Copies of this chain bind each other. A is one copy, B any other.
Amino acid sequence: MIRVAVVGAKGRMGASVVQAVNDADDMQLSHTIDHGQDPAQINSDNTDVAVEFTVPSASLSNVLTLIAQGVDVVVGTTGWDEDKLEQVRQALANAPRADQSVFIAPNFAISAVLADHFAAQAAKYFESVEVVELHHPDKIDAPSGTAIHTAQAIAASRREAGFGPMPDGTVTDGGSRGQVVDGVHVHAVRLRGLNAHEEILLGNAGEQLVIRADSFDRGSFMQGVLLAVRKLRDGGYPGLNVGLDTFLDL
């Protein structure tokens, strides 16, 4: 059994992690820590892997504490910049255990990470590629960070394959062609009832390839969180690792 601690256990994501750990046959909860509780209760004697899902203002401090306690950490909190990442790297260099790991992911939905990866691979073989992302209407930014990342990955693949600009005979447009990210048109739909969805369309004469990732609810992150927990427990990822594709055999 993998002993898992959850930091931020009463937050929306943290509570989902607690439930996912309880539901997993190969895991058991060691600690649940929330606001006002000391994460230093977690240590390498009572816990194998800690999952940290709090807020950007608290996350770095929590992670540094957990590193000092000799515990591997899976981090789902957002808001990491290079300065913060460097502090994590230095802490890991001085960690109690030689092969200690921290894993940070901007997106734990396996479908989204695979869609992004496949889109970049496929982009080398299609004349046209566009990205449509669809989210609930309360989202503040458009397009999503994920869609921008996908568009940039597509653009990089096209450059590598020696493609020039995509065919586009549009002469008259009042804005319907969307935002151009690194040469790739990105469209954002906002619709009540949706959660987070991304569709990549790739076209050649006579054929189309469509890759679509649907995240219907928070549960979509849990497979990725559990995968990360298992991989850190199995070992082989010393130091700081970023991005769920670290663990995908592609």
A interface with B by C-beta (< 8 Å):
109-112, 114-115, 118, 121-122, 124-128, 130, 132-134, 137-143, 147, 166-180, 185-195, 201-223, 227, 248-250
Q: Which of A109, A173, A178, A193 has the most chain B CB atoms inside 10 A of its CB?
A: A193
Q: In the complex, are the beta carbons of A176 and B207 less than 8 A apart? A: no
Q: Which of A124, A125, A192, A250 has the most chain B CB atoms inside 10 A of its CB?
A: A192
Q: A138-B169, A176-B142 are in contact. Are A128 and B191 (CB under 8 A)?
A: yes
Q: A114-B209, A139-B169, A206-B218 are in contact. Are A125 and B248 (CB under 8 A)?
A: yes
| A196 nearest CB neighbor, chain B only | B207
Assembly of this chain: how many copies? 4
Cα distance A209–B194 in the bound complex, in angstroms: 11
Q: A74 to chain B: closest CB distance in Å?
A: 17
Q: Which residues of B contact A221 (CB under 8 A)?
A: 206
Q: A128-B191, A179-B173, A194-B203 are in contact. Are A211 and B208 (CB under 8 A)?
A: no
Q: Which residues of B contact A174 (CB under 8 A)?
A: 142-143, 179
Q: A160 to chain B: closest CB distance in Å?
A: 9
Q: In the complex, are the beta carbons of B194 and A219 less than 8 A apart? A: no
Q: A144 to chain B: closest CB distance in Å?
A: 9
| A215 nearest CB neighbor, chain B only | B207
Q: List, sorted by A's number, 14 A–B pairs whose CB atoms are closer than 8 Å.
A: A118-B118, A118-B211, A121-B249, A124-B249, A128-B137, A130-B190, A142-B176, A176-B178, A176-B186, A189-B201, A207-B215, A207-B223, A208-B216, A209-B214
